[in-house]
Structure 1
Amino acid sequence: MGNSLRERVVAVGDKAPKFTVRTDRGREVSTTDFGGKVLVVNFWATWCPPCIEEMPSLQAMAQQLGPKGVVVLGVSVDKNDVSYKRFLQQARVSFETSRDPEANISADYGTFKYPETYIIDREGKVRQKIIGPQDWTAPEVIRSIESLL
């Protein structure tokens, strides 16, 4: 059993697992839809204080780097749809979001603690894996993501 979990953990340098989700805007998107762009996949939940703490800076980074070719996709593991939608509305989240209540996608990445974020380059390779909250507007973080463009 220990080996099967270890085999599912996605590491820097690995090809990012493919998935398809229906976003809250009704769009069906797949990781393959973002070819040529840098994809930031953020696994989070409304019941996770560190996730909520980093959301404003993630939002700001998405607005700053979106025009340059960075796409942020928030994948929530919330089971409660009402709480999830209420939070998105109150926080005015503008990047693409989706709810994965069974945590199937995060499990494919080997993610079981939140927040956890994967930065995937234009070729679909994981370039960074960030465990825990992050200040997404910090100059070194912005430079690091921009270096993948």
Structure 2
Amino acid sequence: MPVTLLALTIFSINVNAEEIKSVAPQAPEWELKTQSGDVISSAQLDGKATILHFWATWCPYCKVLQPKLVELERKYQHQGVKLVAISFNEDDGALPQDELAARGYSFPTAVNGDEVAMLYGVKGTPTTYFINKHKQVIFKYTSSDTSDPRLELAVKELVK
């Protein structure tokens, strides 16, 4: 039975479930630290459906998108969806985890993620990747349009 796979280019394509492994690119591996110095890495997310959100504290569009990402994580957390952020291109003295806490969010964010952003080909903020439990990127989102139905469609695809 065909499933819809959201490709990196924002277009959707139909493929058989068996073909997904050959179509979707592998997410690069990374390891960074949080603001408090704890290690956070892609290896900790192995086997989990992941929303990987690249952002910066100064980005107004990130602030618009984050409530929707939190909503999606909460809605699908019982199916294993995890929201993790990587802060990059920050101003000196920025405290990303404090900023998220002030917004009422508790999802973890790695800091000093400039090299990882380059590894993922991130050009600006926000950029959000939807990565399945096989570490395959099934969708890349570079907008802050919270009404875009592709956001939830991507999460539904993650949990299949």
TM over 0.5: yes
Shift of the alpha carbon at 1:98?
A: 1.4
> For structure 1, which runs of at least 5 residues remain unmatched after alignment?
1-10
Q: Which moved more, 1:65-74 or 1:77-86?
A: 77-86
Give 1:93's aligned amino acid.
Y
In the other structure, the counterpart of 1:51 is 62
2:109 counterpart of 1:97: yes
Alpha-carbon spacing, 1:141–1:34, altered in 2? closer, same or farther (3 Å): same
In the other structure, the counterpart of 1:4 is none
Given the alignment, which residue of 129, 151, 154 partners 1:144? 154
- Identity percentage of aligned residues: 25
Check the 8 A contact 1:22/1:28 in 2, yes or no: yes
| TM-score between the two structures when normalised by the length of structure 2 | 0.74
Cα distance in structure 2, aligned partners of 1:76 and 1:109: 13
Check the 8 A contact 1:24/1:98 in 2, yes or no: yes
Shift of the alpha carbon at 1:20?
A: 1.0
| RMSD, aligned α-carbons | 2.3
Alpha-carbon spacing, 1:85–1:15, altered in 2? closer, same or farther (3 Å): closer
How is 1:13-52 mapped onto 2 (pairs within 5 angstroms)? 13-24=24-35, 26-52=37-63
Give 1:50's aligned amino acid.
Y
Secondary structure of 1:147's aligned partner = helix
**Cα deviation 1:33-55 (Å, max 9, x = unaligned):** 22221111110111111111111
Alpha-carbon spacing, 1:38–1:16, altered in 2? closer, same or farther (3 Å): same
Shift of the alpha carbon at 1:32?
A: 2.1
Higher strand share: 2
Alpha-carbon spacing, 1:140–1:127, altered in 2? closer, same or farther (3 Å): closer
Shift of the alpha carbon at 1:24?
A: 4.2
> For structure 2, which runs of at least 5 residues remain unmatched after alignment?
1-7, 10-23
